[in-house]
Amino acid sequence: MSEPLLEVTDLRVEIPLPRGTVHAVDGVSFALQPGRALGLVGESGCGKSMTLRAILGLLPRPARIAGGAVRFRGQDLVTARAGHLRDVRGSGISMIFQEPMTALNPVMRVGDQIAEGPQHHLGRSRRAARSEAIELMRTVGIPDATRRARAYPHELSGGMRQRVMIAIALSCQPSLILCDEPTTALDVTIQDQILKLLLQLRREMGVAIVFVTHDLAVIAETCDDLAVMYAAQVVETGRVADVFRVPHHPYTLGLLRSVPDFDLVRESLDSIPGTPPDLAERFEGCRFAPRCQFAQGDCLAGPIPLLDVGGGRTAACIHHEVCAAAARSDPVVEPAQHA
């Protein structure tokens, strides 16, 4: 196997607050090979988006990286000079944000916003960058691109604004795109169009993708590999099809059991009891134990590392075999793809 394009090792992000320090990302590790797509999935507040922002050094104040490494093409971005990190943004790694209306400059024409990256990172002239911007708008499916390049963000629909964001992300020919729930604010029809567009661009351009979402169906459609996050930690990793078929962590099993089965009439959906822990508190043992149907006394004895469960998979559960057996005896509903 080739060297990872992106390798995150024991990444920790802290947010100092008056009530205490919030450990927003706590020992997250994963790797991404060139041209592959990795999904980061979990409940809101589990640290998915904060992980993406830490990769690019775009943490909101007062959050800070407290430890760990983020290696892109072998070089650690955590310790990199500010100038090198600026060069990596756009030319090596791009990011598509959740809400384009807040990510785009409201007083700048969208064509100029797309052209800005090639001018700065690739040394294109203003005219050449403008021409490339219009061509990129056509590539991402924006009709009448020459006219719409002169539009301001508020003059475009939500779907068109998201396509502009994708064009910006592609403008400097990156090898990795970080997608922070890019379809959450869109209706289901536009969501499907954007997801198909990302898949098409990945096939044609060979870019790698990290896709953050809480929608398991999106993961099923877009990703090769999966990292499940709970309470600021990664609790399970593996190929998407393998994890969905037989999860080895009870939290993953709970997520999959909550997926609606449209062939089965039920009064209510399955749910995970309880609530996630407060990330300002320190923990002993498994963070999911208070909500886990398989928890035993040894689950609280100490930290639970990611264990090798075979087949290139890991799970942070010392009773993962019990969880897998439960999944096999009562198979979960695998999330249906949008397409």
pLDDT in tens, 202-213: 888 889 999 998
Q: Is the pLDDT of residue 5 over 70?
A: yes
Do the Cβ atoms of 308 and 318 come closer than 8 Å?
Answer: no
Q: What is the pLDDT of residue 53?
A: 94
Please state, in angstroms and as integers, the Cα–Cα distance from residue 220 to each residue in 71, 252, 270, 310, following that order: 27, 14, 20, 21
Going by pLDDT thresholds of 50, 70 and 90, the confidence category of residue 258 is: confident
* pLDDT for 271: 82
Which of helix, strand or coil describes residue 31? Answer: strand
C-alpha dihedral (76, 82, 84, 89), degrees to nearest 10: 90
pTM attached to this predicted model: 0.90
Peptide bond into 106 cis (omega under 30): no
In whole angstroms, what is the distance from residue 310 CA to residue 32 CA?
Answer: 19
| Whole-number Å distance between alpha carbons of 266 and 270 | 10
Choice between 313 and 257, residue whose per-residue pLDDT is larger: 313
Q: Domain ranges in the chain? A: 106-172, 246-329
Dist. CA 305–CA 84, nearest whole Å? 33
Euclidean distance between CA atoms 286 and 242, whole angstroms: 23
Question: Cα–Cα distance between 12 and 232 in angstroms, integer?
Answer: 9
pLDDT at 52: 95
